[in-house]
């Protein structure tokens, strides 16, 4: 090991951690958004750690992903719904994952294939570059700043931890002939934790075998540890077959009926090409892409993307072959063994994407957090490429020019991450950004309008909600929120048509029915409001607001006996509302008496 402080692993780890903290220093106040609300904010199972003991509701409800949800329960235990604690935990996981990537690359250069390679003396620099690319890249923000995507980052942490422990144990076995049992046990435990965090861990045993056959040598009996990890390959399919319930965040392996598997696969070719573009040029990032579904292979975006991906795979196999020994001598060095690392990185990219970007139609065809685990392979390949460029330019500034270019690029990536986190500072800023990039998609306009309403700006919410219902005129939620925005701006008559549309498209949307009834009563249409409220009260007999409005509607049509019955019920449910209703019934009764 080079004794210079700048080449010491501890210095490298401090650089990784420092850059990661700087890049995410403005993310700690980003609010809960989208799936965070159902999975964390309104998730009652997180309120007690006891729910995650055997037989507990948390363990049962989140069985396939109980490790991630248990970590959310720990956050809740320590700080309730203070979002800062969740962001700190997410960043710690991200930094830990980057440190594990650094360790994996360092270990790779100790394997039989690479220990004598030309890049072995620069193993620390290559490992540092890979970790810095990973920790600073803006595309990681969705897996780090979006709280619920801890499922992805925590799974990747355990994924890499398992692989690092496995490789460390194999190296101890290679170097000393013993000491494999404990690291292998740790690798198996980490693999199980990864698979109970998110289903993308399905590929972990295959990644271990890939590493084994890429970088180790010897007889089959020496490769048995990798084969033991293959036993965990059955965990994810077993969990899916078991039919355990999941949270509202859903299951990775849940299929969509409206997208045939083959069409989803065709669509994934340009999606993966987009992922590669984001890794190389992270501009126009988007939380909610408006991505078309491709139904035929022979359309230019699909066919050209397929050619690009096929070319990358061909390159990976060529690099693998070029780094393979051709001489019969057992101790012969491959002509370019470090190329094996680039091949491994490309294989890793395709392998780890295979669960989410193949034949299984997911709810959304593209999400940036799905790049978190695959980006490890691209970061590794880029770092090795820079290391090789340093060797090729050794006569020019001592090979420092590629390193300088890499440093500038990494700092630019970190700045991009900081800037991207600015978009996440509020729900309104986030969805405003999405509407600029996906203007023809209903969901961004709906979310922007909803959050404007919730933040006390209902007048500003009306225009985006109008866009939402224009794009998707059958969205009951969008119609309801449009009507609610009209109500909050005292435009009661204008609220009635959108609220009627909401109830028409979703008759069981009780909030919309109650709001519609209130608007009808306000406009002297109490008779139309009564059947709406009666149905709501039958479904939810203890809803005070529904009984309040029903009593008011009965009084409005002169049925004071029924109004008094609702007043009696309301006195038990909400005495303050009952007092208000009593005054209104009395006023209505006095106004209806003959003068």
Which among 94-108, 162-176, 384-398 has the top mean pLDDT?
A: 94-108
Q: What is the pLDDT of residues 416-457, one digit of tens each?
A: 999 999 999 999 999 999 999 999 999 999 999 999 999 999
Q: What is the pLDDT of residues 259-279, one digit of tens each?
A: 899 999 999 999 999 999 999
* Confidence label for 594 from pLDDT (cuts 50, 70 and 90): low
Q: Where are the domains of the chain?
A: 12-32+81-243+258-325+335-423, 427-592
pLDDT at residue 220, rounded to an integer: 65
Which of 103, 93, 165 is closest to 135 using CA atoms? 93
Would the pLDDT of 363 be above 60? Answer: yes
Would the pLDDT of 139 be above 70? Answer: yes
Which of 225, 220, 216, 153 is closest to 188 using CA atoms? 225
* Confidence label for 250 from pLDDT (cuts 50, 70 and 90): very low
Q: Counting beta carbons within 10 angstroms of the beta carbon of residue 590, is it exposed (0 to 12), middle (13 to 18) or buried (19 or more)? A: exposed
Architecture of domain 427-592: Alpha Horseshoe (1.25)
Which of 563, 557, 568 is closest to 586 using CA atoms? 563
Task: For residue 411, give the DSSP letter.
Answer: H
Q: Rounded to whole angstroms, how far apart are CA atoms 257 and 482?
A: 29
Q: Would you say how long the chain is, in residues?
A: 595
The distance in angstroms from the start CA to the end CA of the chain is 102
Q: How many distinct helices (H) and strands (E) make up the chain?
A: 27, 0
Mean per-residue pLDDT, 296-325: 94
Mean per-residue pLDDT, 106-128: 93
Tokens 């139309």 — which residue?
Answer: 528
pLDDT at residue 246, rounded to an integer: 42
Would the pLDDT of 327 be above 70? Answer: no
Q: Counting beta carbons within 10 angstroms of the beta carbon of residue 409, is it exposed (0 to 12), middle (13 to 18) or buried (19 or more)? A: middle
pLDDT at residue 248, rounded to an integer: 36
| % the chain with pLDDT above 90 | 76
Task: For residue 31, give the DSSP letter.
Answer: P
Q: Rounded to whole angstroms, how far apart are CA atoms 77 and 483?
A: 38
482 C-beta neighbours (distance < 10 Å), count:
29
Angstrom CA distances, 196 to 47, 69, 200, 207, 560, stand at 20, 10, 10, 17, 58
- The three-state secondary structure class of 332 is coil
Mean per-residue pLDDT, 128-140: 98
Please state the separation of Cα 229 from the chain's center in Å: 26
Mean confidence (pLDDT) of the chain:
90
183 C-beta neighbours (distance < 10 Å), count:
20
* 231, 260 contact by CB (below 8 A): no
pLDDT at residue 333, rounded to an integer: 52
Among 51-55, 85-89, 244-248, 360-364, which stretch is predicted with the lowest mean pLDDT?
244-248
Among 178-187, 380-389, 560-569, which stretch is predicted with the lowest mean pLDDT?
178-187
Tokens 């925590």 — which residue?
Answer: 154
* 307, 298 contact by CB (below 8 A): no
pLDDT at residue 586, rounded to an integer: 87
Q: Rounded to whole angstroms, how far apart are CA atoms 229 and 179?
A: 17
* 69, 45 contact by CB (below 8 A): yes
* 446, 468 contact by CB (below 8 A): yes
Which residue has better confidence, 438 or 175?
A: 438
Q: What is the pLDDT of residues 328-352, one digit of tens each?
A: 554 555 568 899 999 999 999 999 9
Tokens read off for 383: 């770092």
* Confidence label for 114 from pLDDT (cuts 50, 70 and 90): very high
* Confidence label for 326 from pLDDT (cuts 50, 70 and 90): low
* Confidence label for 72 from pLDDT (cuts 50, 70 and 90): very high
Mean per-residue pLDDT, 169-188: 83
Q: What is the pLDDT of residues 481-533, one digit of tens each?
A: 999 999 999 999 999 999 999 999 999 999 999 999 999 999 999 999 999 99
Among 182-186, 290-294, 490-494, which stretch is predicted with the lowest mean pLDDT?
182-186
* Confidence label for 217 from pLDDT (cuts 50, 70 and 90): confident
Give 579's contacts (C-beta < 8 A, 6+ positions apart).
Answer: none
């Amino acid at each position: 090991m080079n004794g210079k402080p700048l080449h010491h692993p501890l210095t490298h780890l401090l650089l990784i951690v420092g850059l990661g903290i700087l890049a995410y220093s403005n993310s700690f106040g980003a609010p809960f958004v989208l799936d965070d609300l159902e999975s964390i904010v309104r998730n009652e199972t997180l309120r007690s750690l006891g729910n995650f003991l055997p037989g507990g509701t948390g363990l049962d409800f989140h069985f396939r992903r109980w490790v991630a949800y248990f970590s959310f329960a720990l956050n809740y235990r320590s700080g309730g719904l203070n979002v800062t604690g969740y962001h700190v935990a997410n960043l710690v996981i991200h930094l830990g994952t980057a440190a594990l990537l650094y360790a994996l690359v360092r270990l790779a250069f100790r394997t039989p294939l690479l220990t004598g390679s030309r890049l072995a003396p620069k193993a620390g620099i290559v490992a540092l570059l890979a970790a810095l690319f990973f920790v600073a890249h803006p595309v990681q923000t969705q897996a780090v700043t979006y709280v619920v995507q801890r499922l992805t980052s925590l799974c990747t942490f355990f994924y890499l931890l398992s692989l690092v422990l496995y490789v460390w144990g194999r190296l101890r076995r290679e170097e000393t002939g013993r000491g494999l049992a404990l690291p292998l046990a740790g690798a198996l435990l980490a693999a199980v934790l990864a698979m109970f965090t998110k289903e993308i861990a399905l590929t972990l045993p295959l990644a271990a075998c890939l590493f084994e056959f890429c970088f180790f040598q010897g007889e089959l009996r020496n490769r048995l540890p990798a084969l033991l990890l293959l036993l965990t390959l059955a965990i994810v399919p077993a969990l899916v077959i078991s039919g355990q319930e999941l949270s509202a965040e859903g299951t990775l392996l849940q299929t969509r009926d409206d997208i045939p598997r083959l069409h989803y696969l065709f669509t994934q070719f340009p999606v993966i090409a987009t992922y590669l573009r984001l890794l190389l040029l992270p501009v126009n990032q988007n939380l909610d892409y408006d991505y078309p579904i491709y139904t035929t292979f022979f359309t230019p975006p699909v066919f050209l993307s397929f050619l690009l991906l096929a070319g990358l795979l061909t390159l990976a196999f060529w690099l693998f072959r070029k780094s393979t020994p051709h001489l019969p001598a057992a101790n012969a060095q491959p002509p370019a063994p470090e190329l094996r690392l680039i091949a491994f990185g490309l294989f890793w990219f395709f392998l780890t994407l295979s669960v989410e970007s193949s034949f299984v139609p997911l709810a959304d065809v593209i999400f940036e957090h799905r790049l978190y685990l695959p980006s490890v392979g691209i970061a590794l390949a880029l770092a090795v490429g820079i290391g090789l460029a340093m060797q090729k330019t050794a006569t020019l500034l001592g090979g420092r020019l590629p390193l300088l270019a890499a440093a500038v690029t990494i700092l630019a990536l970190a700045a991009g991450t900081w800037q991207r986190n600015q978009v996440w500072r509020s729900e309104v800023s986030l969805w405003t950004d999405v509407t600029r990039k996906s203007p023809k998609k209903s969901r961004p306009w709906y979310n922007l309008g909803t959050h404007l309403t919730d933040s006390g700006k209902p007048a500003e919410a009306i225009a985006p909600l109008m866009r939402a219902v224009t794009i998707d005129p059958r969205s009951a939620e969008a119609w309801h929120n449009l009507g609610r925005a009209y109500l909050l701006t005292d435009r009661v008559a204008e609220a009635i048509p959108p609220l009627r549309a909401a109830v028409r498209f979703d008759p069981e949307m009780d909030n919309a029915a109650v709001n519609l009834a209130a608007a009808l009563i306000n406009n002297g249409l109490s008779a139309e409001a009564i059947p709406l409220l009666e149905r709501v009260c039958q479904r939810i007999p203890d809803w005070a607001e529904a009984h309040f409005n029903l009593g008011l509607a009965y009084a409005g049509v002169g049925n004071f006996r029924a109004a008094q019955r609702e007043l009696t019920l309301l006195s038990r449910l909400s005495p303050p509302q009952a007092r208000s209703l009593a005054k209104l019934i009395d006023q209505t009764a006095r106004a209806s008496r003959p003068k």
